[in-house]
Amino acid sequence: MINMVIELNEIDKRILFELERNCRIADVELAKIVKKSKDAVRYRIKKLEEREIITGYKTWIDFAKLGFRSDTIYLTLLNIPDKKKQLIIEIMNNPKTYWIGVAEGAWNIGATFFVKSNEELLKIKNKLATNFEDIILDFKVTSLVSVSVHEKNFLIDEKTKLTSFTEKIEDIRLDDISKKILEKVYWNAKENIATLSYDLNTTVDIIRNRIKNLEREKIIIRYTAVIDYQKIGYEFHKSFIYLKKADDEFYGKFKNYVANSKIVINMVEQIAPWDIEIILFTKNFSEYDKAIAELTESFSKNIRKIESATMSKDIIFPCKKLPF
């Protein structure tokens, strides 16, 4: 069955862009940006939700501030569908799983885990290796260094700045109210303060102050809409870049390239077999192929090879439980 692509006009694209940038934006402010009435904006958002283009509203949390590091395991598998399903279920049920992706290409399943030590990660890896030795052909383990990302500027004709986050492990201790706030706003970033105060049996002022503290400490990074880009005609690719040589000048130029691209929307530096991971959104494989060719030509002196995978599944917190 072929899924029909939903065509959006420029107003709806702009609404998606602004909601992904900050889904807590006031309707009045959003209405001014798109030059429509507040009621018209609310109607359009409701239609985007009903069509499941917007599938939810999440809060970006910097878990490194709370003492967690994020390590990813990429698996290459034999094509045994039943065992693959079992493997996906086991990863999704692990309370330490932050992200799981399913793809075709350089790897088949990727999973990011929140851990506090190499020992924790090794236990996860060894369990997968033992339980699924008949399907796993290869492991690649990576440790995050930094992420640089900009808004989805392929939706609008506007340049966006690149924001970088370094995985600097801290151990900020939260009280119970702050933890409960994070749990609530993670699953619904548009949750209002009055509802939070009622649910947590405390005052509006306490909730407001806790949220301000979480934002000030940069534990809360961003409030964003979760968007199903496949429904509006975009493919999602991950590419892994192996370098011949790299220095600060190269990384500066590469980040600038990513910042100005409407296809490459983020850059990840990792301790991994490769040097850089990038994420690309394209309309089709031809567009992706062209983007990789241009990237390779632009940095021909630095890039040794690029491996890629096309994503079919991309899930954050599949077990529906935060790690703290």
Given 162, 186, 216, the domain boundary residue is: 216
Given 59, 84, 99, the domain boundary residue is: 59
Other CB atoms closer than 10 Å to residue 244's CB: what's the count? 12
Q: 83 — alpha (psi -120 to 50), left (phi > 0) or beta?
A: alpha
What's the pLDDT at 3? 63
For residue 66, tell me if it sits in a domain: no
**Contact, 266 vs 148, CB < 8 A?**
yes
206-250 pLDDT per residue, tens: 999 999 999 999 999 999 999 999 999 999 999 999 999 888 899
Confidence of residue 2 (pLDDT cuts 50, 70, 90): very low
| CATH number of domain containing 37 | 1.10.10.10
What's the pLDDT at 1? 40
For residue 225, tell me if it sits in a domain: no
What radius of gyration do the chain's Cα atoms show?
21
CA 3 vs. chain centroid, Å, equals: 23
Please give the structure tokens belonging to residue 279: 């994420």
137-170 pLDDT per residue, tens: 999 999 999 899 988 989 998 888 888 888 889 9
Residue 127 has pLDDT above 50, yes or no: yes
Mean pLDDT of 49-72: 95
Q: In terms of DSSP bridges, do strands 235-243 and 220-227 run parallel, antiparallel, or are they unpaired?
A: unpaired
State the Cα–Cα distance between residues 212 and 192, nearest whole angstrom: 14
For residue 280, tell me if it sits in a domain: no
What's the pLDDT at 165? 81
Residues whose CB falls within 8 Å of the CB of residue 311, separated by 6 or more in sequence, listed in order: 101, 102, 103, 235, 236, 237, 238
- DSSP-based three-state secondary structure for 119: helix
Mean predicted lDDT score pLDDT of the chain: 93
For residue 184, tell me if it sits in a domain: yes
For residue 45, tell me if it sits in a domain: yes
Residue 265 has pLDDT above 70, yes or no: yes
Given 185, 216, 247, the domain boundary residue is: 216
For residue 34, tell me if it sits in a domain: yes
Q: 197 — alpha (psi -120 to 50), left (phi > 0) or beta?
A: alpha
309-319 pLDDT per residue, tens: 999 989 999 88
For residue 207, tell me if it sits in a domain: yes
69-100 pLDDT per residue, tens: 999 999 999 999 999 999 999 999 999 999 99
The residue behind tokens 């993670």 is 186
For residue 126, tell me if it sits in a domain: no
Mean pLDDT of 104-109: 94
Domain range for 42 is: 10-59
Amino acid at 88: I
The residue behind tokens 């399913």 is 102
Q: What domain count does the chain have?
A: 2
